[in-house]
Structure 1
């Protein structure tokens, strides 16, 4: 009994570590506050400025696969330490950039690599520590991203307006390195390393039906894996098309930049609520309905953004969009744990997490190109809505296909 109490207690310490680490990952959602000052300082187009962020996401995408494998081998402490060093260094160097290629190298490459270990080290660790309240634990830890958006978006905007975007990069770098180092000191890979028993009961239905863990080499040969991959790819395309361009859209619509930054931050804080609520709901009724419902919800929220270029419409949109996006975003690790087990989760998650990077790398550039081509945001945002619908369809297909290709890994009921 004492071991169980200690296990449950330290499990929540892992949640706090995850919250701090994912607070730093909110950098990937905050690039929008830098778009307007970079446009003004350098005279670049929306496409060029978006391509800096796209470079970071492309590098993130390439790096996250080996980071998942390294997490399975060396554990989260090492990876979070590497992330602290590279993220802090990259942001500090970005503050001194004077040309486009400087930002490609510093923010695009160094920050992209620095952020890549965070998600694939924290999420597999949380999944190993929790079975009974896994959705809630993942939801609370993931809310760090939302709090990061909510707190840092207006803070960085104030710094940019009052001082300079270079100081904003510097402060972000120092905060990021500090929080990641604290998280690295707190985190432990699994209960066994602390000689604690595994938390009992409440495992996910599909995961509990596995007769043996499914390695990455087998997972990638299943149709369900690729349907899941396409689901998150399309959802992330749509997500970043909106997140990167909502602030310049608001400013172009005549809304003051500080209010526009608050709308970006509001997506984060409402997303925090969505993550926790979705985690609780998923624990009770399952992840499949929750994920599909949230993707459709985001698709239905986007037209509100286009109805009127005023503060009320934008804030209504951000509230709904944030609530639903928070719900589906936390599902990466729980979905993969249900379909393929936890033994090789780091490696499998590393591959599927590339969808996040691809969405961030390509989505904003496509949106930026459409905006430059048409002179407005209508077509870009409507394309995002259609992508959310496609994401829901892909996941529904994955659910129908589970266990079909390699039934020997599943019990009779899941064939």
Structure 2
């Protein structure tokens, strides 16, 4: 590989990582703001959790349009705009006093902004790294999963010292600026910079599928259903983590010299980030579906253990990290397997459609999970739902997705071979 090309794509990976870290906090530290926002707005927890749902829905449901705009126009300008919108959402949320005001600021601006950045950077990385697609997508997805690790304790401390309004304003400006500056160095690879994807026993496509045709395939909708189920389970934990930690009586316990809740949130960000390049790398070696089966089954086991030891603050904090390690890889595995299957030409827009599954998952993961708790008076039914979804998705990955994709790619290779001119 040309030295300049190699250096350039690693620079792109680094910039993408920084931009993703900058826009991760609106989702992953949301749980820290729920208590003061409930006090200000007078809303109930299920009502307030619709903010989280709005954020994820707008982040995901508009992603096909955002992917198209990024493919059509300058990636760096669109991604910089997304980072600015994300930071602006926090700054504006600090200045409202009503529930609808929180929806219209934190939910709307952060949702649209983070969606542009996330889809845009994933779309760039699958093009820059066809030979290490799982790993590269995992690295930038790790930025989204781990970025809040750097902000959790400072935000928690500033909330205590200065209140949530000052905290939202300061961090909104800082994180928005950092994301925008990183985005200005991003670009798509030129035609002479695109490496061919290595042949791997029918693991990657030999032709590109446009979004319109992709949406007609049962294979895409199977992936969509699987990502929806995994997103639902994971977001049930993300959106309500502080609430069930308090309900289990472990939130304010002291472990390893730290308060349990911010310690667990920070530890979760680490594992949620590390899992993405790790399982992406593993899937490059042993196959996407095999990796999915292992990881999804592991999350079911981790959730069950978390439930068993829920009243032990040490076990709760450490097992929550295992849960996130077994969940966060969906953000490297699904975009990689989608591009392996349907090609790189329309990768950003195609992933925009698949990423909508995250939005559907947020409907169940945030307010509906809180509603179940409100009706049942217990988080146990919510945990049971998560375990069931994990086991079902693991089974689908190995026994349904794997043979369906093998058949699709085999037919694609046959079509490509028949399209070649006959030898003289």
Report how far residue 231 of structure 1 moved: 0.7
Q: How far, CA to CA, are the matches of 1:209 and 1:177 in structure 2?
A: 37
> Aligned residue for 1:160?
159
Give deviations 1:259-288, integer Å, cap 9, x for gaps. Answer: 212212211101222122212211211211
Structure-2 change in CA distance of 1:175 and 1:295 (3 Å): farther
Gaps of 5+ in 2: 253-258, 418-424
> Aligned residue for 1:9?
7
Give deviations 1:34-62, integer Å, cap 9, x for gaps. Answer: 12222334442221111111122222233
Report how far residue 403 of structure 1 moved: 6.3
Report which stretch shifted further, 355-364 or 238-247.
355-364
Number of paired residues? 409
User: Retained in 1: the 8 A contact 2:62–2:112?
Assistant: yes
> Aligned residue for 1:83?
82
Q: How far, CA to CA, are the matches of 1:217 and 1:407 in structure 2?
A: 21
Q: 2:195 matched to 1:199?
A: yes
User: Retained in 2: the 8 A contact 1:230–1:394?
Assistant: no
SS in 2 for 1:333: helix
Give deviations 1:169-216, integer Å, cap 9, x for gaps. Answer: 112311221122122212111143xxx533366355546442x21111
> Aligned residue for 1:224?
219
> Aligned residue for 1:30?
29
Q: How does 1:380-399 map to 2 (within 5 A)?
A: 380-396=382-398, 397-399=400-402
Q: CA RMSD in A?
A: 2.3
Report which stretch shifted further, 294-303 or 143-152.
143-152
Q: How far, CA to CA, are the matches of 2:193 and 2:70 in structure 1?
A: 22
Q: How far, CA to CA, are the matches of 1:197 and 1:243 in structure 2?
A: 38
Q: How far, CA to CA, are the matches of 1:331 and 1:378 in structure 2?
A: 29
Q: How does 1:7-406 map to 2 (within 5 A)?
A: 7-26=5-24, 27-192=26-191, 197-199=193-195, 202=198, 205-206=201-202, 208-210=204-206, 212-257=207-252, 258-307=259-308, 308-396=310-398, 397-402=400-405, 404=407
> Aligned residue for 2:420?
none
User: Retained in 1: the 8 A contact 2:146–2:273?
Assistant: yes
Q: How far, CA to CA, are the matches of 2:407 and 2:215 in structure 1?
A: 13
Report how far residue 332 of structure 1 moved: 2.4
Structure-2 change in CA distance of 1:113 and 1:201 (3 Å): closer
Give deviations 1:71-122, integer Å, cap 9, x for gaps. Answer: 2211421221220231122211001110111011111112211111112111
Gaps of 5+ in 1: none
User: Retained in 2: the 8 A contact 1:31–1:244?
Assistant: yes
User: Retained in 1: the 8 A contact 2:242–2:251?
Assistant: no
Report how far residue 6 of structure 1 moved: 0.7
User: Retained in 2: the 8 A contact 1:191–1:197?
Assistant: yes
Report how far residue 338 of structure 1 moved: 0.8
User: Retained in 1: the 8 A contact 2:63–2:356?
Assistant: yes
